[in-house]
Amino acid sequence: MPSYTPMIEQYLKIKARYQDCFLFFRLGDFYEMFFTDATKAAQELEITLTSRDGGSDERIPMCGIPYHAATNYIKTLVERGYKVAICEQVEDPKTAKGVVKRDVVQVITPGTVMEGAMLLEHENNYLASVETAGDGFALSFVDLSTGELFAVLVEHIDRLKSEIYNRPIKEIVVPPTLSAADYKILRDELQLTVSSQDLENITIDQTFIDPLTLSLTSKHLKQAITRLIHYVQATQQRALEHVQVAKEIVLSGYLGLDMHSKRNLELTETMMKKGKQGSLLWVLDQTVTAMGTRRLKKWLERPLLDHQTLLDRFDIVEGFLNQFIEREALREDLKAIYDLERLSGRVAFGNVSPRDLLQLRLSLERVPSLKTTLKDFDASSINAFGDVLDTMEELQTLLLTSLAEEPPLTLKEGGIIRDGFNEQLDDYRYASRNGKQWISDLEQKERAETKIKSLKIGYNRVFGYYIEVTKANLHLLPEGKYERKQTLTNAERYITPELKEKENLILQAEEKSLQLEHDLFVALREQVKVFIPRLQKLAEQVSAIDVLQSFAVVSESEGYVRPKLTTDETVSIINGRHPVVEKVMTDGMYVPNNITLDKKTKMLLITGPNMSGKSTYMRQVALTVIMAQIGCFVPADSATLPVFDQIFTRIGAADDLVSGQSTFMVEMLESKHAITHATKNSLILLDEIGRGTSTYDGMALAQAIIEYVHDYIGAKTLFSTHYHELTSLSDTLKNLENVHVSAEEHDGEVVFLHKIKPGPADESYGIHVAKLAGMPDTLIARANVILHLLEGNNHDEKASHCDKTGKGKLTPSTNKDVLTENETSVNSLPAQGEMDQLSFFETEKPIAKAKPSQLEKKLKQMDILSMTPIDAMNALYELKQDVQGE
């Protein structure tokens, strides 16, 4: 082993205990890093990498950051998923023998961030823990900045992924025994910082953990919380009084939204930019407090199933909506209230600043006005909010009498405590203030006696107070009165016995004043801790008020209406709109649409051109349901809705690069998830199922899925498709109805009307969409030629395959027995020769057809699917030459 200096040896011993962290090693006014930490930190933080002599033959890599600027550097590392161990001096250097003792005082990780500068104001920051529970999992998560603690049991890994995805979880603590496959999902697929915590051979503080888990019956949930809390205590090494009693989330009480549905519907962030703007949260967020924004996001992530709670929320929103003036007064009250949740967290954590306590005082002073404003509303449900708000007058009085009117940002500056709060502090301040006045008077006196106008009395930490005289005026100083202290280039500095005596009094008073203020502030913080549970309760009430008034504001500005909840399975939305699309359309030309589903019609098969609005129509139905089930009014002229238990979506196409799955595999997995877990009370949205594979396979799968949902599940379903042949399923599936998005063609130009009408669509207008996309005119013209050729061939073949009515026919499956691997239900697929768009692929001879010409023979021999564009053009040219030769 190399021989290192004692300081480097100390570093290595501490680093050995924190191998997965960057070790910020305090040396004076800098945090230093050495060895591989230095090399990696220099790259990540873009700081200079240097080296130093550490006692061995080779120089040691080193980099450092200023102590006072550490927050931003730590934030950068934590945002990238790293952990930072803060190593401080834990011994007074004046009394140290040898190397000053140092140790890690805190480990900052993505899930344990507490500094305000590192947190997003409107986002929670969760640290989670997971345990296996039979075939399922126990998940717990805590936001240390607010103290909220939750626990939930999930049945399978997919539901675990959805729960984690639905929450802003940044880090997860796992047992060392977690399977490698599950570990990989957490780290790679969900992109979490994964930390391992072993509970073997350690002392667990059950006196703290037991009260937190008192309401839980599952031993697995208790174990998850135990692991979570122990990890927090081990990394933070400070009190956690603000952590609240665990709230168990019973999933059966909330609308089920898996991670695919949340992503596809863009509830809280957009799929493309991963930002808030363009999401449903962006439209609905008219909150005025940070607490309110976070609560709105929680409600969106977990809509309700309880009928009565939703009605209560509608009543409150309606009450706010009906009284504009009072609502505006309410918003002004709310704007004056700071983030009580995070203020409480900082008080408990011990990193609350004097300014934080001032914000707390100002917030509490506004609560009485808030109560009065709530009483001004006519709705009794709103008045009830005012009845329960806690003004905490004792805490108001304590902060008002103890805290200065304009306290500093840090504890080092002084001026924290109000004059008159502590007699001893007042004496120190009197001595300090009078002493400084004495210094000022002495300066004037010395100028008068010496006739030196430039004479001044200054102060620095090294020499204390001094009298400075320029060298040009030294001859004016009287003999024997001044004692030389320091020589400068152009001046001399002196002291007098009188000045030295006064200096001791002033500095002692200032030093004692600062220390006493610090002690008084720490005592004040401990007194405020007692009020944390009441502050958290008040924060919960204020944030709920903020969200509900936000619903009223957006409902008024966007013309939303109160939905009617029904128990008879009826879905009736008149002139419904997509809230986000309508918001971004500045021309006011959004086309509203109706939807009606009931016991008779449970499934809509939607056809129509690309870009015509099929996906928008499907999404707006789901978003309307979600808005209703969080208690908000909805974008429609009227809406009657049941309470859905789950929403499943398969909208859009994208490869899952992390899992190595193709678009089609993702499509099948999401569809399988829907048909596996949906009930008759669910809402299913399936968009263009089957487009990721060959046409025959895709059509067969699409029809089979439609039949399965229709026959076995009975859920309300919107199914969009370009397989127009599927529209004949309405003849045999009694609960399916065809609708289409209309379009009109004028002089070769297509106009999309975006209006949903009964019946199937006539055509897809794919070439017209390509034209709208800006494809070259030559290409468009060529596509039209090929389309006419294919349609002509298709028409000839089709004529011989129609039934006596002259129409092609699809025969859906009526056999509900499960087929074996080697069996195929002929009736479950469209009959060959009866697929309008695809019949030109057939090779069987038509019945009673005339002898084919040479041109027809050549066409039938062509393998169009395997042709390149050049091959196709050459083949077409040869056919043209043959026709001209004839």
Q: Give every CB contact of residue 646 below 8 A, 6+ residues apart in sequence.
A: 255, 256, 257, 677, 678, 679, 681, 682, 683
Strand order in the sheet with 60-66: 50-52, 60-66, 30-34, 22-27, 84-89, 102-108
Q: Are strands 564-565 and 638-641 parallel, antiparallel or unpaired?
A: parallel
**Token pair 């062509």 is at which residue?**
862
Residue 16, classified by CB atoms within 10 Å of its CB into exposed (0-12), middle (13-18) or buried (19+), is exposed
Which of the 8 DSSP states describes residue 159?
H
Q: Is 420 among the annotated ligand-binding positions?
A: no
Q: Is 610 among the annotated ligand-binding positions?
A: yes
Q: Is 804 among the annotated ligand-binding positions?
A: no
Which of the 8 DSSP states describes residue 461?
T
Tokens found for residue 861: 């021999």
Q: How many CB atoms lie within 10 A of CB 64?
A: 20
CA distance 485 to 468: 10
End-to-end C-alpha distance for the chain, whole angstroms = 94
What angle, 0 to 180 degrees and rounded to 10, lies between the N-to-C axes of helices 290-301 and 532-558? 70
Q: Give every CB contact of residue 499 below 8 A, 6+ residues apart in sequence.
A: 439, 442, 457, 465, 466, 467
Q: Is 435 among the annotated ligand-binding positions?
A: no
CA distance 39 to 47: 10
| Cβ–Cβ < 8 Å for 524, 403 | yes
Collapsing DSSP to helix, strand or coil, 615 comes out as helix
Q: Are strands 148-154 and 136-143 parallel, antiparallel or unpaired?
A: antiparallel
Q: What is the dihedral of CA 404, 410, 413, 418, to 10 degrees?
A: 10
Count of alpha carbons within 13 angstroms of residue 552, beta-carbon side: 25
| DSSP H or E segment with residue 639 | strand 638-641
Q: Is 460 among the annotated ligand-binding positions?
A: no
Q: Is 559 among the annotated ligand-binding positions?
A: no
CA distance 213 to 248: 9
Contacts 24+ apart (CB under 8 A), 829-832: 829/699, 829/700, 829/703, 830/699, 830/700, 830/703, 830/725, 832/801
CA distance 740 to 757: 5
H helices of 723-868, in order, are: 766-772, 777-799, 854-861
| Cβ–Cβ < 8 Å for 254, 302 | yes
Q: Is 609 among the annotated ligand-binding positions?
A: yes
CA distance 247 to 391: 25
What does the chain come to in residues?
A: 886
Q: Give every CB contact of residue 415 below 8 A, 6+ residues apart in sequence.
A: 404, 406, 407, 408, 517
CA distance 727 to 118: 55
| Cβ–Cβ < 8 Å for 703, 812 | yes
Q: Give every CB contact of residue 389 below 8 A, 6+ residues apart in sequence.
A: 367, 370, 371, 374, 538, 541, 542
Which of the 8 DSSP states describes residue 832?
T
**Token pair 């709670």 is at which residue?**
309
CA distance 690 to 723: 9
| Cβ–Cβ < 8 Å for 577, 613 | no
Q: Is 608 among the annotated ligand-binding positions?
A: yes
Binding-site residue ranges for ATP: 608-615
Binding-site residue ranges: 608-615
